Amino acid sequence: MRGPHNFWRLIRTGATFERTGAMSVVLDAFRAPASLRMAARVLGWPFAPLGLKGDMSMPPATRALTALGPAYIKFGQVLSTRPDVVGDDLARQLSVLQDKLPPFSVEEAKAEVARELEIDVDEVFSEFSAPVAAASIAQVHMARLASTGEKVAIKVLRPGIEKAFRKDIDAFYLTASLIETLSPASRRLRPNDVITHFEGVVMGELDLRLEASAAAEFAATTANDEGFVVPRVHWGLSGRRVMTMDWAEGVAASDLAAIDAAGHDKSDLAARILQGFLKQALRDGYFHADMHQGNLKISAEGEIIALDFGIMGRIDEYTRRVYAEILYGFIRKDYHRVAEVHFEAGYVPADRDIDEFARALRAVGEPIFGMDATRISMARLLNYLFEVTEKFGMETRTELILLQRTMVVVEGVARSLDPHINIWDVAHPVVEDYIKKSIGPRAAVRDLVRTGQVLARFGPRLPGLVEKILVEQMHPPQVPVPVPLRTKLNWAALGAGGMALVAVVVASLG
């Protein structure tokens, strides 16, 4: 479908961006060259009257994307997680992109549920409300199970949303290809790769079984976190286009008046939200990557309830250790250790000067620690840190960018609840606890145990692997290997050299 017929969508997009004033904002954010700016004007200016007007109360970029519809809204949300692509200013603007569209009818929602789950909706549910939330991809209804009386939340995909997204994604690919053709310099941002990333995110969100799976995994990893709740998935009432979960009763984290009226301690809530996120990221390596106020509720008992699991972040254990050591080094103002961690992890090329890098890191940390406690920001630190590491040749790491973006959002939520929160004082015990458990003697013993477990799994194959290595070392591939030599090699003959080779094999398996 990625053909010339998509040019009309491209023209409509350009006309809308031109009419809303978003064209110059986007071109400036991408530092577009003259050739690309001229092409954008040619596609936009003559056709501007054909563009959509949008909500004039919104900033230009969000106004244009909202006017163009669901796929563009979602694209803006995904780009808000990639400041490395769109720049910090535009990323901040897109991060508050409105994701509210006119809802579709209750009758259509019931029909979708009945078709997907193959049930009689009126028999299974004694109540089925009007939409309580309508977003770009799906909307949510409150319902009550006829069998138990339980209240549940039913998320239903918009009718025909898959086809609509597929058409717009095809147009996005055409746009990305034109950008790469007209602006070779833009290839460093890999426009087609960005669209591929977006396509993967959207295709995942268009299968609610995957979101249900994410919710279930998140519930399992946070099960022992006191005061933090993930609603239970009702698998028997969930499918590709429908997801059913326990109804979350509570007030929105953005409703400060309601939180005060309920008697909750906002400072305590702020600290728990921040610490909860850090535990998810460091301890579990699996975190909610869209923790804004709209996706958090506060129950009557003061529990923090997480909602909407369409965007989740994952970090491998090694990266978590590196991230924790970097944060802990800054907390202790040990800038040389922070520099060493970057070099050890391979984040900064080995040919750079480590002492010079440490001085640059001090220039990042000291001004922040010199601030009043209420202005100290971990998100600002990470932002400055990425600026410095980029200058020293550090390549973009998508998983850290998503982590940074989420840190910005979570920090904003915490400060909205408690403007005087000291981010570092709240973060310190979580980071320190992770360091103690994951870096040091106990962690080394645990790593050795895991290595032993891997070795045990491959135990039956080790003699053959070691024999193969020995034979290849003694007789390179171009020399035929004598059969008697292969048959005479055995464990007993390996001795100390064989044990060294075992270590090599284990390392290669790791």
Who's near 466: CB < 8 A, 6+ residues apart? 494, 498, 501, 502, 505
Q: In which element (H, E) is residue 168 found? A: helix 161-182
Q: Is the dihedral of CA 287, 290, 292, 294 positive or negative?
A: negative
Structural contact between residues 296 and 273, judged by C-beta atoms closer than 8 angstroms: yes
Q: Which two tokens stand for residue 426?
A: 């709240």
Indicate the residue type of 400. Answer: L
Tokens, residue 192:
């087609």
Question: Could you give the strand order of the β-sheet that contains 228-229, starting from the edge strand earlier in sequence?
Answer: 228-229, 304-306, 296-298, 251-252
Q: Which of these, 228, 230, 229, lies nearest to 268 by C-alpha position? A: 228
Q: How far apart are CA 92 and CA 194, in angstroms?
A: 18
- Within 228-295, strands assigned E span 228-229, 242-246, 251-252, 286-288
Q: Is-contact 266 256, C-beta < 8 A?
A: yes
For 144, the token pair is 């009550």
46 three-state secondary structure: coil
Residues that are catalytic: 290
Helix orientation angle between 378-391 and 354-369, rounded to the nearest 10 degrees: 160
